[in-house]
Structure 1
Amino acid sequence: MASLQLCLPFSSTSRSQFRFSYGRVRCSSERQELFSRIAPVYDNLNDLLSFGQHRIWKRMAVSWSGAKTGDNVLDVCCGSGDLSFLLSEQVGSQGKVIGLDFSKNQLSMASSRQDLVSKACYEKIEWVEGDALDLPFSDCFFDAITMGYGLRNVVDKRKALEESFRVLKPGSRISVLDFNKSTQPFTTAIQEWMIDNVVVPVASGYGLAEEYQYLKSSIREFLTGKDLEKLALEIGFSRAKHYELSGGLMGNLVATR
Structure 2
Amino acid sequence: MASLQLHLLPLSTGPSSSRFRRSPVRSSTERQSLFNRIAPVYDNLNDLLSLGQHRIWKRMAVSWSGAKKGDRVLDLCCGSGDLAFLLSEKVGSSGKVIGLDFSKEQLSVASSRQKLMSKAFYTNIEWVEGDAIDLPFSDGHFDAITMGYGLRNVVDKHKAMQEMFRVSKAGSRVSILDFNNSTNPVIAFTQELMIDNVVVPVASGFGLAEDYKYLKSSIREFLTGKELEELALDVGFSNARYYEIGGSLMGNLVATR
TM-score clears 0.5: yes
Matches within 5 A, 1:72-87: 72-87=72-87
What is the distance in 1 between the residues matched to 2:233 and 2:149? 21
Matches within 5 A, 1:1-257: 1-11=3-13, 27=27, 29=29, 31-257=31-257
What is the distance in 2 between the residues matched to 1:209 and 1:143? 39
Contact 1:10–1:27 (CA under 8 A) maintained in structure 2: no
Q: For each residue in 1:191-237, what CA deviation from the matched residue of structure 2 results, as whole angstroms up to 9, or x when unmatched? A: 00000000000000011112211111111110100110111111110
Instruction: Give runs of ≥4 in structure 1 deviating > 6 Å.
Output: none
Alignment partner of 1:178: what SS?
strand
Distance 1:255 1:32, change over 3 A: closer
Query: Cα distance, 1:29 vs. partner?
Result: 4.8
Q: CA RMSD in A?
A: 1.3
Query: Cα distance, 1:37 vs. partner?
Result: 1.8
Query: Cα distance, 1:33 vs. partner?
Result: 3.4
Alignment partner of 2:222: what SS?
coil
Contact 1:5–1:79 (CA under 8 A) maintained in structure 2: no
Q: Which has the higher contact order (CA 8 A, sep 6+)?
A: 2
Alignment partner of 1:164: what SS?
helix
Contact 2:4–2:199 (CA under 8 A) maintained in structure 1: no
What is the distance in 2 between the residues matched to 1:27 and 1:85? 29
Decide which moves more: 170-179 or 1-10. Answer: 1-10
Distance 1:205 1:230, change over 3 A: same
2:85 alignment partner AA: F
Contact 1:7–1:79 (CA under 8 A) maintained in structure 2: no
Q: For each residue in 1:140-166, what CA deviation from the matched residue of structure 2 results, as whole angstroms up to 9, or x when unmatched? A: 000000000000010111111100000
Query: Cα distance, 1:45 vs. partner?
Result: 0.2
Alignment partner of 2:126: what SS?
strand
Alignment partner of 1:247: what SS?
coil
Gaps of 5+ in 1: 13-25
Tell me the percent identity: 75
Query: Cα distance, 1:10 vs. partner?
Result: 2.7
Contact 1:182–1:248 (CA under 8 A) maintained in structure 2: yes
Query: Cα distance, 1:90 vs. partner?
Result: 0.3
What is the distance in 1 between the residues matched to 2:218 and 2:30? 18
What is the distance in 2 between the residues matched to 1:6 and 1:78? 12
Query: Cα distance, 1:3 vs. partner?
Result: 2.1
Alignment partner of 1:176: what SS?
strand
Query: Cα distance, 1:11 vs. partner?
Result: 3.3
Decide which moves more: 2-11 or 62-71. Answer: 2-11
Name the TM-score, length of structure 1 as normaliser: 0.92
